[in-house]
Amino acid sequence: MASEKLQVIPLGGLGEFGMNCLALRYGDDILVIDAGLMFPEEELLGVDIVVPDISYLVENRDKVRAILLTHGHEDHIGGLPWILSELNVPVYGTEFTLAYVEGKLEEHRLLDDAELIEMLPGRQFGIGPFTVRPIRVTHSLVDCVALAITTPLGVVLHTGDFKIDLSSPDGHPFDLQAFAELGKQGVLLHLQDSTNVDRPGFTPGERAVIPRLDDIFAATKKRLFFSCFSSSIHRIKIAMDLAYKHNRKVALIGRSMDNSTEIAQDLGYIEPPQGLIIHPSKIKEYAPHEVCVMISGTQGEPMSALSRAAVDNHKYAKIEAGDTVLLSSRVIPGNEKSIYRVIDHLERRDARVIHDDGTNGLIHVSGHGSAEELRMMINLTQPKYFIPVHGDYRHLKRHVELAKSTGIPEKVLLLEDGDVLEIDSRGAEKVGKVNVGRVCIDNNSTADVVLDTVIRDRKHLGSDGLFLPIIAINKQTGAIEGMPEITTRGFVADDPELLRNARDVVRRTIEESSGEERKDYGVMKDKVRGDLKRFIQKNANRRPLIMPIILEL
């Protein structure tokens, strides 16, 4: 019976933005779709990235056949180093996606052992009982695909991130015909991107920004600093074309901007005219109206090129009064403070800052389909079952309502991370859960996992400070030597008597302990910590992190 059941198990990306990862299991064969990361919320102090808990995959490592990538954004490939350090399985992706992956794996010294296999839109290939057909979709990045996976029970369609753009700047439009053909053949299950479900209508195509950007290029009298997501290859190409049209040289500033542009040029997505791109050191050799600086840091990242230029701390990017700074991107929720801080610095430099769409035309368009595109895809594919993916719970809920309103899917299911959906000849039902969660990583290293206890300690330090009682104990007699010392960090005591009384508490704790307890420093630290905790909470209404230190004399 097990071989006649298909299981769909989201490990991340359902109930949050980012960390997209889903397991598709038939019998003893598992395919993993995407391996993303998520950037931490403010409360995850000191954490660099968050990746999905892959306990389920590790427990079933002998069944995992491959990882399939829909595209190269961090929320779909950023968790690969973590997963590949645990599971060395083949990774399939399009040419551009694998170029990003190679750089990421090389950074983590995993590239030599990785098996990266290129997949081409429209060309089928087999993995165990599955037949995979990548289908061209359009998004804010290039070379993106949806995955139509034929299983013994029927076709599972995973859209990845998409919008329907039939006039993509790279000449590779959304493949509507392929999805219409799938609908005629029959789709068992459709998993669809929920990001823009609450936006009515259709998302404009990438070319929709050209008129407004063209006006900005024409109206700018001095230097133009153009900032967008470094992965927005379409936008970079449009900016370069406009710079050429308006007789401006282009200087690329920022590591991510450099890397993405280099990959895009190598693969033929950007073909700048000879002499258009200049080294940043040459900027000063041209008149201000002859230069367009493409600079990374559109989200106000503290060490980004734009942030440093905004405070006049960049070697090449010098922003002067009358220069124009264009932020051709959306504000990612949570980044508002850092973005507006950079804008404030730019305004102090008397730069003209353009950072929203306004009423005069678009300077940015989303890479995700809006409600009518989502509805159109359901109408095209005619799925039997439907599951919304990629979004917070409210987005998934809204997407369920949209799918039901079409009257097409026989069953619409709302899944969350860890839910196990089982499909067989009798229907589709949730049958249980697997262990999922978030793994916090420091220093972008697969080795430096941050435990919940560490996060809790960091919160303690940030809110109530650190209390370090230092106690000297005679090794032979177990007697306390002198008065305990107390060092604090980030702890402010209003009462000058508090520290003296705290030393008395520590001394009494030691003196009232038995000789046997005094020789067990683990026991003594716990007793001192407990007595001090009660004393400080009662007298100062604070809960600092208490770390007793015992010196053996």
Predicted confidence (pLDDT) per residue in 16-70, tens digit: 888 999 999 999 999 999 999 987 665 554 567 788 999 999 999 999 999 999 9
Take residue 287 and report the two structure tokens written for it: 């008149």
Which pLDDT belongs to residue 493?
57
- Residue 367 annotated in ligand binding: yes
Classify domain 2-202+366-449 at the CATH topology level: Metallo-beta-lactamase; Chain A (3.60.15)
Q: Which residue has the higher pLDDT, 421 or 439?
A: 421
- Residue 366 annotated in ligand binding: yes
Q: Which residue has the higher pLDDT, 148 or 456?
A: 148
The type of residue at 456 is: R
Which pLDDT belongs to residue 1?
39
For residues 123-144, average pLDDT: 97
Residue-wise DSSP of 419-464: EEEEEETTEEEEEEE----EEEESTT-SS-EEPHHHHHHHHHHHHH
Q: Are 277 and 249 within 8 A, CB to CB? A: yes
pLDDT at 2 > cutoff 50: no
Closest by CA position to 169, among listed 135, 214, 139? 139
Closest by CA position to 57, among listed 72, 70, 71, 67? 67
Which pLDDT belongs to residue 269?
94
| Per-domain residue ranges of the chain | 2-202+366-449, 206-354, 452-552
The CATH number of 206-354 is: 3.40.50.10710
Helix (H) or strand (E) segment spanning residue 10: strand 6-12
Classify domain 452-552 at the CATH topology level: Ubiquitin-like (UB roll) (3.10.20)
Q: Are 46 and 450 within 8 A, CB to CB? A: yes
pLDDT at 452 > cutoff 60: no
**Which is the catalytic residue, given 76, 314, 368, 395?**
368
For residues 241-257, average pLDDT: 96
**Which is the catalytic residue, given 53, 175, 193, 464?**
193
Take residue 29 and report the two structure tokens written for it: 């064969």
Closest by CA position to 238, among listed 140, 379, 113? 140
Measured from the Cβ of residue 313, the count of other Cβ atoms closer than 10 Å reads 9
For residues 246-255, average pLDDT: 96
Q: Tell me 327's DSSP state.
A: E
To the query of whether residue 289 is one of the catalytic residues in this protein, the response is: no
In sequence order, the 6+-apart residues with CB closer than 8 A to the CB of 476 are: none
Which pLDDT belongs to residue 303?
82
- Residue 254 annotated in ligand binding: no
- Residue 389 annotated in ligand binding: no
What confidence category does residue 552 fall into, taking pLDDT thresholds of 50, 70 and 90?
Answer: confident
To the query of whether residue 193 is one of the catalytic residues in this protein, the response is: yes
For residues 487-515, average pLDDT: 81
Q: Are 345 and 372 within 8 A, CB to CB? A: no
Q: Are 229 and 331 within 8 A, CB to CB? A: no
Which pLDDT belongs to residue 11?
96
Helix-, strand-, coil-residue percentages of the chain, each rounded to 5? 35, 25, 40
Which pLDDT belongs to residue 209?
95
